[in-house]
């Protein structure tokens, strides 16, 4: 250990807390710490390129999602949308002030209720007080019963909606239409349509829903145009040879009457349609 009057040269220590040797100290008293020495001591050189920033951003998002129990990007988008909706509703109001004001109002309401009850009892006989309290208790029980009924109705409604979604989904899947039409048709009929569950006061969520619906319709339009183009290209083109074959000049092939002409035309039409379907 150094003596009391001995001054320790702090420049003789490196970043790991170990004393540096005399060979590592240059003329200015600084330790040489080049890239090789940092690698040898196990210290990582900070990453400053774009990939490092991407990794930091990804780690930040993972930590954020874990902190608030968010498992998917969709849940994260919904969470942010709800926060944005709250911000729109609050405007420039300070959240802490609103919380303090609410607590103060609750405290006043409790005091007013106690004062009202005291004055009420002063103007009543004991029997009247008991009767009034029984009536208030019954009202509270009725409210609780109504709340339970609403919850039961909500569960039954959810069950009916689930049954509806399953039934309509199967019926649409059984239709002989293109698969690209089944998804939009299901939503049009109300199957798992988010419009039924969205908070009508959440403007951010509504805008997101409209944007997604617009993209879905645009994608459907492109798919329909693509399939229509394929169908048009499948229609055969009439050539001179086809015309000659369809309308022979030989007298023996000419229809002898109107009925035979109709039968011949029908046969040629069926032949042409069967060729298109192949």
Task: Answer yes or no: is pLDDT of 159 > 60.
Answer: yes
The answer as to whether 64 is a domain residue is: yes
Task: Answer yes or no: is pLDDT of 68 > 90.
Answer: no
Answer with the one of 32, 67, 92 that is the final residue of a domain.
92
The answer as to whether 242 is a domain residue is: no
Answer with the one of 92, 118, 133 that is the final residue of a domain.
92
Cα–Cα distances (Å) from 141 to 130, 176, 204, in that order, read: 16, 55, 39
205 exposure class (CB count in 10 Å sphere: 0-12, 13-18, 19+): buried
Distance CA 180, CA 171 (A): 15
Determine the structural domain holding residue 68 and report its residue range. Answer: 15-92
Distance CA 95, CA 102 (A): 11
58 exposure class (CB count in 10 Å sphere: 0-12, 13-18, 19+): exposed
pTM (2 d.p.): 0.38
Scan for tokens 């199957």, then name that residue: 191
247 exposure class (CB count in 10 Å sphere: 0-12, 13-18, 19+): exposed
Q: What letter does residue 22 receive in the DSSP assignment?
A: G
The answer as to whether 61 is a domain residue is: yes
pLDDT in tens, 201-234: 888 888 888 888 888 888 888 888 887 776 666 6
The answer as to whether 264 is a domain residue is: yes
Cα–Cα distances (Å) from 66 to 56, 72, 175, in that order, read: 15, 10, 43
Whether the CB-CB separation of 190 and 196 falls below 8 Å is answered with yes
DSSP helix/strand/coil, 19: strand
Residues 6+ apart with CB under 8 A from 6: none
The answer as to whether 218 is a domain residue is: yes
Answer with the one of 92, 121, 153 that is the final residue of a domain.
92
The answer as to whether 102 is a domain residue is: no
pLDDT in tens, 38-56: 444 444 444 445 567 788 8
The answer as to whether 145 is a domain residue is: no
Task: Answer yes or no: is pLDDT of 185 > 50.
Answer: yes
Q: What are phi and psi of 16, to 5 degrees?
A: -85, 0
Strand partners, 19: 13
- Scored b (16 or more CB within 10 A) or e, 16-52 reads eeeebeeeeeeeeeeeeeeeeeeeeeeeeeeeeeeee
Domain count for the chain: 2
pLDDT in tens, 77-120: 888 888 888 888 888 888 888 888 889 999 999 999 899 999 98
The answer as to whether 162 is a domain residue is: no
């Amino acid at each position: 250990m150094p003596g009391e009057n001995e001054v320790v040269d702090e420049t003789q220590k490196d970043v790991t807390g170990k004393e540096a040797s005399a060979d590592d100290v240059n003329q200015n008293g600084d330790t040489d710490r080049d890239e090789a020495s940092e690698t040898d001591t196990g210290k990582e050189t900070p990453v400053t390129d774009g990939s490092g920033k991407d990794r930091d951003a990804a780690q930040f998002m993972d930590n954020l999602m874990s902190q608030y129990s968010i498992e998917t990007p969709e849940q994260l988008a919904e969470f942010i949308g709800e926060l944005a909706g709250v911000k729109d509703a609050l405007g420039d109001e300070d959240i802490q002030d609103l919380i303090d004001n609410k607590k103060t109002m609750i405290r006043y309401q409790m005091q007013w209720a106690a004062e009202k009850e005291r004055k009420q009892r002063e103007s009543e006989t004991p029997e009247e007080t008991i009767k009034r309290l029984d009536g208030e208790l019954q009202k509270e029980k009725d409210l609780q019963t109504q709340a339970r009924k609403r919850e039961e109705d909500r569960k039954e409604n959810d069950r009916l909606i689930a049954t509806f979604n399953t039934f309509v989904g199967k019926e649409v899947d059984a239709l002989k239409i293109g698969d690209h039409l089944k998804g939009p048709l299901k939503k049009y009929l109300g199957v798992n349509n988010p419009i039924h569950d969205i908070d009508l006061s959440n403007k951010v969520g509504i805008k997101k829903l409209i944007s997604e619906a617009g993209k879905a319709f645009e994608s459907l339009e492109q798919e329909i145009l693509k399939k229509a183009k394929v169908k048009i290209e499948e229609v055969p083109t009439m050539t001179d040879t086809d015309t000659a074959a369809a309308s022979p000049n030989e007298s023996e092939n000419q229809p002898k009457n109107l009925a035979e002409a109709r039968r011949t035309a029908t046969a040629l039409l069926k032949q042409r349609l069967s060729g298109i379907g192949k």
